Amino acid sequence: MINPIIVKEAHVAAHNYEPLPVVLVKGEGVYVWDDQGRRYIDLMSAYSAVSLGHSHPRMVKAISDQAQRLAVCSRAFFTDKLGPFLERVCQLTGMDRALPMNTGAEAVETALKAARKWGYKVKGIAEGKAEIITCNGNFHGRTIAIVGFSSEDQYRDGFGPFPDGFINIDYGDTPALAKAITPNTAAFLVEPIQGEAGIVLPPAGYLKECARICRENNVLLICDEVQTGLGRTGKLLASQHDGVEPDAIILGKALGGGMLPVSAFLARQKVMDVFQPGDHGSTFGGNPLAAAVGLEALNILIEEKLVERSAEMGDYFIGQLRKLKSPLIKDIRGLGLFIALEINPTLANARQVCEHMMHHGLLSKETHDTVVRLAPPLTITQQQIDETVSGIQKALDDLAEQLAKSA
């Protein structure tokens, strides 16, 4: 019998997602429950947005306390919450200034505007000629400008024409970056690890060499850390694995503590100073509720040592996954708790694996048909990882048996 809740959503909601057939009604820590009372381990964390776990008591209190005082008033006025929040995020990331927004895509758009205006007003690029270099396989959001420089055909199909001024190169290829830079290049926008492409790690030292190339050519290095930032990879920022200090950073997802959409564009003063009153804004960006939530999320991350926990549990998780025995597995890779289980496409697809994992109490989602994303809350324990690995082995065995019977 088809769940009537699923039927209703499918009838009234746009079909821009293809969810697994489960209706979630409750979450606590690494667990979520469906409408039938069944418990699952959440291995998605809402694409890293729920890094602190579901319904963290301190986050629930922070949002409740602030909602009862003042939630939204716009940046037309000062509030007592925004300054402390931005001070904390700048202090932790080493940036000079921050511009608060709501979603990751909005923060990326902010970065694009900042890079172009810096190129014109500071670097001296001729008006209308600024270029920003991006990478094939990138995912920076869903706006028209952003999908315009995506290399994924589906993200672009039917949405053109797209803005000019973007140059794509292969990810992980530093000679290609050096070759693509011209006097009109304002910035290089890059993910330290490509998430939606399938948890793709670049060669060792890649980002460090990119930073050197950008510095020598007076080009801004902008790191999109919306998914990789705030402890996901075992460092506060994924760029820190290469000892890199970018000119600008984009944060989102986990910055909202799994409660609200909170994002920020952070940059050196030389970059942020290009913005003048009226240049850019957001009605909800930096609202008191979001600021209170963002500050508490950062405090929890540091005080509960979740960055260090991500590094420790990530190493353990990857080690246990590599003990799995199945012909369906093509590769296991990752950093911290940002892990890919790549499926052999000649035998099965990742959606099938996710569906079988669901039957064993594990929830995740496929990426590009070939990769199962494993990015649980940073609070996950060794015992929960063991339970997860055991469930994955059972799911792979069940699927392999099913495929053998249908062959």
Residues labelled as active-site residues: 139, 224, 253
Query: Are the C-beta atoms of 58 and 298 separated by less than 8 Å?
Result: no
Residue 111 corresponds to which tokens in the numbers above?
A: 């970065």
Residue type, 374: L
Question: Whole-angstrom Cα distance, residue 271 to residue 249?
Answer: 11
Q: Residue written as tokens 């079988």?
A: 356
Contact 343, 370 (CB under 8 A): yes
Tokens standing for residue 312 = 């420790």
The token duo for 18 is 């293809």
Q: Which amino acid is at 205?
A: G
Strands (E), 211-282: 220-224, 248-251, 263-267
- Please state whether 62 falls in left (phi above 0), alpha (psi between -120 and 50) or beta: alpha
Structure tokens at 210: 């990119």
Q: SS3 breakdown of the chain: % helix, strand, coil, rounded to 5?
A: 40, 20, 40
CA distance 143 to 132: 16
Query: Which alpha helices (DSSP H) does 124-165 contain, by range?
Result: 144-148, 153-156
Q: Are 256 and 54 in contact (CB under 8 A)?
A: no
| Closest residue by Cα to residue 377 from 12, 51, 22 | 51
Distance between CA atoms of residues 359 and 379, nearest Å: 23
198's CB contacts (< 8 A; 6+ apart) are 340, 342, 367, 368, 370, 371
Q: Are 290 and 264 in contact (CB under 8 A)?
A: no
Cα-Cα-Cα-Cα dihedral sign, residues 168, 170, 175, 177:
positive
